[in-house]
């Protein structure tokens, strides 16, 4: 809803934004804070620009996002859980968290991020190998964060595959006692491309004379998809992986779940597939239900100020405020 609540500094554009080039330069005002105070100059910049972060991710894929991965950080009484950030398919931490990591760091959280699921060490493209294997890596990472910080549990914020993958960790790799809350931005909880999968199956089953050729083509396509991106195949609606993950119960009773989705998601469709089964510890949020100015899509979700307002509310519900309704641009953020 317009007015009130937390807000981000608004970006300005000197030229049209290009996907492979640097975008905007944001003001140094931090989220939820005013400008002009001497302390503000010490705050990290919250960069609400997807193309800019994508460029950084390709140039420095192993870099930590601003404000993240300080192993000496000790959680405060106000924010006792460290926050672990989990990126999505084809992404890395440097391309995903240049808004949320500094935002949370500015607010006093200990923030940690990891790269995972690359086919080759140091690759710019992550989260493409087995999701279960990535869940094991997440389990090891959380253990290191807990050991370094002395905390009992962590909160996890994930994007796309990174919003679904922690559920594999929670359910099958010991995360249930180590995670307080899971906040998921556009997660692939029930997969995507269900219509595409059905189309492929119809082609494979056609009774026309070229049935065998079609079937072979479909099988070859799916085999290539699995070889090059096993995680992609596992995120198709109806995959064996997702069927096992979503066997009841979808959620665990001692973990709080928040799912944040946009009606304009063009990657995980239909967007309601992202939501978890209702429960006392589950909140499913559609951004446009509260802010019709938000035209953000799947790509811009980690750079969507309205969505990030819901993230901070989920991490700190006692101090929750209505996120400021503001324009968010598809493929960019804001």
Tell me the pLDDT tens digit for each residue of 134-191: 999 999 999 999 999 999 999 999 999 999 999 999 999 999 999 999 999 999 999 9
Find out whether the peptide bond into 266 is cis, omega within 30 degrees of 0.
no
The strand pairing partners of 256, in sequence order, are 181
Return d(Cα 96, Cα 85) in angstroms, integer.
9
Which of the 8 DSSP states describes residue 239? -
Helix (H, G, I), strand (E, B) or coil at 203: helix
pTM for this prediction = 0.82
The answer to whether 152 touches 176, Cβ cutoff 8 Å, is: no
Which of the 8 DSSP states describes residue 284? E
Mean per-residue pLDDT, 51-74: 96
Q: Within a 10 A sphere around the Cβ of 306, how many other Cβ atoms?
A: 27
Please state, in angstroms and as integers, the Cα–Cα distance from residue 217 to each residue in 60, 224, 230, following that order: 38, 11, 18
Return d(Cα 47, Cα 2) in angstroms, integer.
22
Share of the chain above pLDDT 70, in %: 78
Asked whether residue 7 carries a pLDDT value surpassing 60, the answer given is no
Residue found under tokens 């972060």? 53
Please state, in angstroms and as integers, the Cα–Cα distance from residue 98 to each residue in 90, 140, 278, following that order: 16, 24, 31
Q: Find, among 176, 192, 121, 181, the residue nearest to 320 by Cα.
A: 181
Please state, in angstroms and as integers, the Cα–Cα distance from residue 321 to each residue in 3, 106, 287, 296, 316, following that order: 11, 17, 15, 21, 10
The answer to whether 120 touches 195, Cβ cutoff 8 Å, is: no
List Cβ neighbours of 328 (8 Å cut-off, separation of 6 or more): 293, 294, 295, 296, 300, 304, 305, 306, 334
Mean per-residue pLDDT, 201-208: 55
Return the minimum-mean-pLDDT range out of 75-79, 95-99, 111-115, 195-199.
Answer: 195-199
List Cβ neighbours of 154 (8 Å cut-off, separation of 6 or more): 81, 82, 83, 84, 142, 145, 146, 178, 179, 180
Return d(Cα 226, Cα 221) in angstroms, integer.
9
Give me the CATH topology for the region 38-190+235-319.
Rossmann fold (3.40.50)
pLDDT grade for 27, boundaries at 50, 70 and 90: very low
Per DSSP bridges, beta strands 256-261 and 154-159 are unpaired
pLDDT tens, residue by residue, 239-253: 999 999 999 999 999
Helix axes 211-228, 194-205, angle to 10 degrees: 140
Which tokens belong to 137?
């890596």
Share of the chain above pLDDT 90, in %: 75
The strand pairing partners of 257, in sequence order, are 182, 282
């Amino acid at each position: 809803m317009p007015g009130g609540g937390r807000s981000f500094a608004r970006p300005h554009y000197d030229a049209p934004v290009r996907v492979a080039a640097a975008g905007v330069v944001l003001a140094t005002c931090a989220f939820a804070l005013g400008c002009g105070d001497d302390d503000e100059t010490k705050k990290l910049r919250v960069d609400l620009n997807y193309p800019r972060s994508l460029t950084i991710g390709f140039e420095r894929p192993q870099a930590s996002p601003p404000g993240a991965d300080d192993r000496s950080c000790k959680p405060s009484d106000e924010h006792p859980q460290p926050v672990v950030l989990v990126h999505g398919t084809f992404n890395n931490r440097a391309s995903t968290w240049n808004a949320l990591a500094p935002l949370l760091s500015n607010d006093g959280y200990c923030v940690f991020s990891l790269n995972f699921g690359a086919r080759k060490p140091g690759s710019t493209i992550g989260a493409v190998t087995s999701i279960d294997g990535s869940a094991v890596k997440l389990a090891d990472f959380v253990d290191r964060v807990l050991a370094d910080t002395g905390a009992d549990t962590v909160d996890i914020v994930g994007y796309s595959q990174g919003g679904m993958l922690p559920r594999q960790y929670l359910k099958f790799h010991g995360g249930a006692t180590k995670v307080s809350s899971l906040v998921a931005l556009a997660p692939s909880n029930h997969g995507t491309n269900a219509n595409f999968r059905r189309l492929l199956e119809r082609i494979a089953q056609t009774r026309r004379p070229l049935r065998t050729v079609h079937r072979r083509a479909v099988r070859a396509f799916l085999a290539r998809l699995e070889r090059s991106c096993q995680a992609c195949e596992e995120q198709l609606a109806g995959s064996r992986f997702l069927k096992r993950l979503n066997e009841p119960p979808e959620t665990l009773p001692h973990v709080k779940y928040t799912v944040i989705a946009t009606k304009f998601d063009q990657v995980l469709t239909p967007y309601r597939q992202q939501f978890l089964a209702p429960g006392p510890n589950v909140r499913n949020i559609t951004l446009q239900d509260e802010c019709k100015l938000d035209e953000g899509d799947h790509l811009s979700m980690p750079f969507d100020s309205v969505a990030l307002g819901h993230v901070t509310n989920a991490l700190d519900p006692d101090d929750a405020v209505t996120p400021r309704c503001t324009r968010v641009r598809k493929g960019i953020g804001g």
